């Protein structure tokens, strides 16, 4: 599972890094060191033959949903069953995306402690992580735009899979992190070969990831700032 992550890299830098068009000014987001489900997040996707960086709702809302609240239960999608689940098989075939993150949090059980230990995981070189994701468009029947068309909600989910050895010490799942040489294939709207696409959903190399203990302040979504990702004493030692 991936339930919290960090989005701190400026959007113009993210757009350049992923070779995408930057979002318009009204779509810009504030730096967020404690991104939580259902919040707006940056997403890289292809539309009209152009790679774009834009703002999406975190929590996939299927096109057939009657209520967008269903997205709160779809922040993650298991990579092993994408082609089987009604909510995911269509976007897996047609609407794949990359969700940039500076790092992500997981909570580790500590023997003899009631509190879990929050851990922060990021790339050893400090570059953004490229989470594999899916996106969808939901049309709101209760709200229309200036032309009388149903308002659109762009939403996404982060794909998870088996952990690498380093992450396995903390949690039994991790986000699928795509290497740069897989981005073109993953984002290609004309590629519907889900069998070959599924082969990209493998654990990132352990040596790519660095892990450190951080403060339990991250447990509260209202806490937000760079201090959340700083090294902190383990639970029970502070």
**Per residue in 56-73, pLDDT tens?**
999 999 999 999 999 999
Q: What is the pLDDT of residue 6?
A: 98
pLDDT of residue 238 exceeding 60: no
- Segment 158-179 shows an average pLDDT of 97
Mean pLDDT of 210-220: 97
Q: What is the mean pLDDT of the chain?
A: 95
- The answer to whether residue 75 is domain-embedded is yes
CA quadruple 105, 187, 149, 24: dihedral positive or negative? Answer: positive
Question: What is the pairing mode between strands 150-161 and 50-58?
Answer: parallel
Q: What is the CA radius of gyration of the chain?
A: 18
What residues make up the domain containing 68? 5-229
Identify the band that residue 112 occupies on the pLDDT scale cut at 50, 70 and 90: confident
Reported as a pLDDT band with limits 50, 70 and 90, residue 146 is low
Q: Is residue 235 part of a domain?
A: no
3-state secondary structure of 103: strand
Q: Is residue 237 part of a domain?
A: no
Indicate whether 234 belongs to any domain.
Answer: no
| 236 belongs to a structural domain | no
Which tens digit of pLDDT belongs to each residue from 77-92? Answer: 999 999 999 999 999 9
Domains in the chain, number: 1
Q: 149 is written with which tokens?
A: 């068309």
Indicate whether 148 belongs to any domain: yes
Residue 238 lies in a domain: no
* Comparison of pLDDT for 112 and 60, the residue scoring more: 60
CATH number assigned to the domain comprising residue 95: 3.90.1680.10
Asked if residue 29 is part of any domain, the answer here is yes
More confident residue, 228 or 238: 228
Measure the CA angle with vertex 220, ends 217 and 225; round to 5°.
Answer: 60
Is residue 37 predicted with pLDDT exceeding 80?
yes
pLDDT for residue 235: 84
Global confidence as pTM: 0.96
> How confident is residue 144, by pLDDT bands cut at 50, 70 and 90?
low
* Residues belonging to the active site: 2, 106
CA distance 160 to 176: 5
């Amino acid at each position: 599972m991936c339930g919290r992550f960090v989005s701190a890299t400026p959007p113009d830098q993210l757009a350049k890094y992923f070779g995408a068009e930057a979002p318009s000014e009204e779509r810009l987001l504030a730096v967020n060191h404690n991104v939580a489900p259902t919040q707006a997040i940056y997403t890289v996707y292809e539309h009209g033959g152009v790679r774009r960086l834009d703002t999406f709702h975190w929590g996939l809302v299927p096109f057939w949903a009657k209520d967008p609240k269903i997205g709160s239960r779809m922040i993650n999608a298991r990579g092993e069953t994408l082609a089987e689940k009604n909510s995911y098989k269509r976007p897996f075939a047609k609407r794949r995306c990359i969700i940039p993150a500076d790092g992500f949090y997981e909570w580790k059980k500590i023997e003899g402690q009631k509190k879990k230990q929050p851990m922060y995981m990021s790339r050893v070189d400090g570059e953004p992580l490229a989470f594999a994701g899916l996106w969808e468009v939901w049309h709101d029947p209760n709200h229309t735009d200036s032309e009388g068309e149903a308002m659109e909600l762009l939403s996404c989910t982060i794909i998870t899979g088996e952990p690498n050895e380093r992450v396995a010490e903390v949690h039994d799942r991790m986000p699928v992190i795509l290497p740069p040489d897989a981005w073109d294939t993953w984002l290609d709207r004309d590629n519907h070969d889900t069998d070959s696409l599924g082969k990209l959903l493998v654990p990132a190399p352990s040596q790519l990831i660095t892990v450190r203990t951080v403060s339990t302040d991250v447990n509260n979504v209202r806490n937000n700032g760079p201090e959340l990702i700083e090294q902190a004493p383990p639970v029970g030692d502070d």
